[in-house]
Amino acid sequence: MLALGKLLDLTLVGREPTEKIQLTADGTRLHWLAEGALEVTPASGRDKGLDLLLSAGIHGNETAPIELLDRLIQRIARGHLKPAVRLLFLFGNPDAMRQGERYLEQDINRLFCGRHEDGSGSEALRAAELERLAAAFFSRDGRPRLHYDLHTAIRGSKIEQFALYPWSEGREHSRAELARLRRAGIDAVLLQKKTGITFSSYTYSQLEAEAFTLELGKARPFGQNQTVNLERLEGMLESLVDGSEAASSDAGLDGLQLFAVSREVIKHSDHFRLHLDDAVDNFTELDHGYLLAEDIGGTRWIVEEQGARIIFPNPRVKNGLRAGILVVPTEL
């Protein structure tokens, strides 16, 4: 196997490869761009015109998606998977990956769309670098752009594998992309209603890619992901990479649950209190009238929506950031 097929190993030890560019036996080009960044170009005559960005490790302890990308990279380097699309693989937060932590100083996935300019430290610099790498990769005109940012969650979930679909003024969510997610084993999609500050929000709103944050189970250490079943997602990604994907249809949306953001719960001060058990699962249903949270100045969040569920509850975020999202069922 080519040395660049060991991108994860290089990243975990913080080492640059001696050779920055290598070719597989069939002519696929592997180009090491920066720490945790590998660009893959199809062999001559194989390119079907898609630019596909696959990222993982934006949170360093979310290892199942990192291991998935590692398997894809190794198959390409061995010549077992022959790309028919341009690819950019990104391991987002190498420092946190090496320490097995979600992040070290700042949550990188809250530093995109320019937010890194207001921050400092290595993670703000890394967010800026990830933006530059993505922008350079998606700079070719006339080519479809697709980005999957792969994550696992801090907590369990009533719906284990789900996606967040960013929003941008004037753009509609794609039925074809939703059908593709359904084939990949995604059971629910949260359709967002305002521009966010995550990596997928950046590539969607500023680089005009179709982009998704995928939540794929619960975060565990390297080598302990046997219960995280990513077979359908991995199969879909392989078919995208080698160009063998079958055409989709609207019927592919059968069984896909759609949700919309009703409200974000923002933590304003150290007095913030979230009235949920620390172990509550994502997509837990909340009763109408339930007092969800309280904060300084008599601020209260009371559940008024029918069918409301909570995702990403986290009272330990920094002041000014969201401590949870209330979502409700919706239709496309």
pLDDT above 70 for 252: no
Active-site annotation, residues? 215
In this prediction, what percent of the chain has a pLDDT beyond 70? 98
The domains found in the chain, sorted by start residue, are 3-253 (3.40.630.10), 263-329 (2.40.50.630)
| Residue closest to 238 by CA, chosen among 81, 86, 89 | 81
146, 163 contact by CB (below 8 A): no
Q: What is the rounded average pLDDT of the residues 250-260?
A: 83
pLDDT-based confidence at residue 249 (cuts at 50, 70, 90): low
As a whole number of angstroms, the distance between CA 323 and CA 314 comes to 5
User: Does residue 190 carry a pLDDT above 90?
Assistant: yes
Query: Which residue carries 């990513």 as its tokens?
Result: 230
Smallest Cα–Cα separation from 210: which of 143, 132, 110?
Answer: 143
Question: DSSP letter at 84?
Answer: S
- Read off the pLDDT of residues 59-109 as tens digits, 9 standing for 90 and up: 999 999 999 999 999 999 999 999 999 999 999 999 999 999 999 999 999
Residue 324 has what pLDDT? 94
Query: Which is more confident, 318 or 14?
Result: 14
> Per the annotation, does 275 bind a ligand?
no
The pLDDT value recorded for residue 248 is: 62
Q: What is the pLDDT of residue 120?
A: 76
Measured distance CA(155)–CA(104) in Å, rounded: 19
62 is in an annotated binding site: yes
pLDDT at 273: 96
* pLDDT of the residue at 332: 79
Q: Amino acid identity, residue 273? A: R
Positions of E strands within 102-228: 145-153, 161-165, 188-191, 210-218
Answer yes or no: is 59 a known binding residue.
yes
Is the pLDDT reported for residue 118 higher than 90?
no
pLDDT of residue 250: 55
pLDDT at 117: 77
pLDDT in tens, 119-168: 778 999 999 999 999 999 999 999 999 999 999 988 889 999 999 999 99
Mean of per-residue pLDDT scores for the chain: 93
CA dihedral 94, 3, 129, 319 (to 10 degrees): -20
- CA gap 47, 28 in Å, rounded: 10
Residue pair 282/310 in contact by the 8 Å Cβ criterion: yes
Does 251 score more than 60 pLDDT? Answer: no
Q: Would you say residue 233 has pLDDT above 60?
A: yes
C-alpha angle with apex 153: 150 to 159, nearest 5 degrees? 95
Q: What is the mean pLDDT of the segment spanning 297-324? A: 93
